[in-house]
Chains A and B, each alone.
Chain A
Amino acid sequence: MANLVHLNKDNFEKEVKQSTEPVIIDFWAEWCGPCRMMGPVFEELSGEYEGKLKFAKLNTEEEPELAGGFSIMGIPSLLIVKDGVEVDRIVGFAPKDTLKQKIDGVLSKLS
């Protein structure tokens, strides 16, 4: 999967804050059923946005401080981030079409 990075403390600065393209981050955890439903949909979509939107996953259990930095209180949460700043948040499981519509809406505003 080319357009999919796994975030941690070490690569967060480079992959998110210094990213030239906007980033969508999937905050998830192993024990969260809806997150695991979201995972395959998210990964499937990542290929369609190559060069336009970077797809990233963040395990809230392994990286609680990064999750806390974005005030994550519920998962799955998908955050669209530009220059390290949150521009939109999608909370809860969303089917592929719904997610695609929301992403396209945000991207059209950003460009």
Chain B
Amino acid sequence: MNDVIIIGGGAAGMTAALYTARKNLKTMIISVDVGGQTALPSNIENYPGYDGVNGFELMMKFQAQATKWGTEMITGKVVKLEKDGDIFKLELESGDKHESKAIILAFGKTPRALNIPGEDKFMGKGVSTCVTCDGPFYKGKTVAIVGGGNSALGGARELADIAEKIYLVHRRDEFRGDPIEVDRVRQQPNVELVLSHVPKEVTGENVVTGLVVEDTKTNQEKTLKVDGVFIEAGYIVDSAFLGDLVKRNEQKEVIINQLNETSQPGIFAAGDVTNTPFKQTVISAGEGAKAALQCHNYLTGAEVGLDWKH
């Protein structure tokens, strides 16, 4: 049996695995992907020690380091997690089952869908959730990017070098991203800001031809003529499989204390999936290490769970 199963293979999960494996705990990562959100951007400029690094390559290093110390990595989606006495039982979408003595939740966040007509129909065929992946297919074209955080701002800047024209659509009249990213976007002559507007529909017959947006102040609609729509509208926590096992906040984030303990003894959590502020790779890595060390304390009988507050 595994000592610990880590759900999620991003910065938090890989770091947690590195730490638990180095503590000689039998460690397994179960993840739907490799590298999580960090694997997507083409260039990360704020991970210390790397003055600009490709996200996927950075995460490959995380993975190599975790597996070098004995971590077993499995690709799959966890659909059920149950506690049976002191043992945790997991079931994957494939039907495979795994058991462990402790759990670290590190499955991060999932991109938020717009839930508007046309979004599903054109997904991967004019609608995209990854600027780095799909931007190059829009060379010389007109696109809209929806969102107001760093992902949207960075995406707009990346697209500015490829596409002819970019509409940056944001529901508020100011950005929540870093001022330096906002300034960079404002300096791009081919980026037009469409603030205080929400997307209503992606239009087109066989290909995308437009994005209908509505003014949040006047409720007036207009159609932006675009060949593609990029969605960078934030993230949600996809945690239905947890049932009532751990307490979560209004945003469905897993609530942890400063030792990364959840409300359920034996379940720890780290990174973007938790209520820890600031969603950053470097923070997720640090939190993953904390969760792993406290998990080690739990499995070796050290005192835990004294200061859990909610």
Contacts and interface: CB of A to CB of B under 8 A. Distances in A.
Contacts of A95: 32-33, 75-77, 93
B77 A74 contact: no
A32 B75 contact: no
Contacts of A19: none
B123 interface: yes
B40 interface: yes
The 5 closest A-B pairs by CB, nearest first: A91-B124, A74-B124, A33-B56, A97-B94, A33-B39
Given A34-B40, A34-B130, A91-B123, A41 B75 contact: yes
Contacts of A61: 136
B133 interface: yes
Most buried by B among A32, A61, A72: A32
Interface of A: 29, 31-37, 41, 60-61, 67, 71-77, 89, 91-93, 95-98
> Which of under 10, 10 to 19, 20 to 34, or 35 or more describes the interface residues of B?
20 to 34
Contacts of B40: 33-34
A29 B228 CA distance: 19
B55 interface: yes
A97 B93 contact: yes
Contacts of A74: 123-125, 127-128, 130, 133-134, 137
27 contacts: A29-B136, A31-B54, A31-B133, A32-B132, A32-B133, A33-B35, A33-B40, A33-B55, A33-B59, A37-B33, A37-B34, A37-B35, A37-B56, A60-B136, A61-B136, A71-B207, A73-B125, A73-B228, A74-B123, A75-B133, A77-B124, A89-B124, A91-B125, A95-B75, A97-B92, A97-B94, A98-B93
Contacts of B42: 31
A35 B132 CA distance: 11
Given A33-B56, A37-B34, A89-B124, 9 more contacts: A31-B54, A33-B133, A34-B40, A73-B134, A74-B127, A74-B130, A74-B137, A77-B124, A95-B33
